[in-house]
């Protein structure tokens, strides 16, 4: 085998090892129960709303690839005061460590969430809700 082929195989093996370990590190950091502290909503016109009167929790279990929990939020400034609830109960829980995307159920549909911030005490995830023209950012704290 030529030196170039060996080098290519070595680099491929290293990238595989490090990508797996990054995914495991992310899973270890965000696994468990999280309480919703705040939300930020950016509407289709670019206005940002900060919601403090929110409630709910999110439980991520990577051993069983499940998520559970529900969050509630409402603001008189967003969608004429419409109340929203999001059900996170589902049996799909995946991380794309390269893109730092968390795929989980939202109201029985798999939705990709961007992992904005994650450590042992804080979890910030966001996704774009196309039907409502809103970027929704969830700010969770460890329970």
Rg (CA), the chain: 18
The domain defined by 3-142 carries CATH number 1.10.3430: no
Tracing tokens 């992310």 back to the chain, one arrives at 26
For 109-134, write each residue's pLDDT tens digit: 899 999 999 988 999 999 998 988 88
For 6-21, write each residue's pLDDT tens digit: 766 667 665 665 555 7
Looking at residue 123, what is its pLDDT?
94
Cα 66–Cα 34–Cα 32 angle in degrees, nearest 5: 50
Domain ranges in the chain?
A: 3-142
For 90-111, write each residue's pLDDT tens digit: 998 999 888 889 999 888 889 9
Q: For 7-92, where are the E strands, in sequence order?
A: 32-43, 48-51, 55-61, 66-68, 70-74, 83-87
């Amino acid at each position: 085998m030529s030196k170039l082929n060996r080098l290519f195989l070595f680099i491929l093996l290293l990238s595989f090892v490090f990508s797996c370990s990054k995914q495991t590190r992310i899973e270890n950091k965000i696994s468990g129960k999280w309480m919703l502290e705040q939300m930020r909503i950016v509407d289709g016109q670019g206005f940002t709303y900060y919601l403090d009167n929110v409630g709910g929790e999110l439980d991520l279990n990577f051993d069983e690839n499940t998520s559970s929990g529900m969050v509630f939020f409402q603001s008189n400034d967003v969608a004429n005061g419409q109340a929203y609830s999001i059900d996170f109960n589902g049996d799909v829980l995946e991380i794309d460590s390269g893109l730092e995307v968390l795929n989980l159920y939202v109201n029985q549909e798999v939705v990709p969430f961007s992992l904005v911030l994650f450590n042992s005490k804080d979890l910030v995830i966001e996704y774009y809700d196309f039907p409502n023209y809103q970027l929704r950012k969830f700010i969770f704290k460890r329970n």
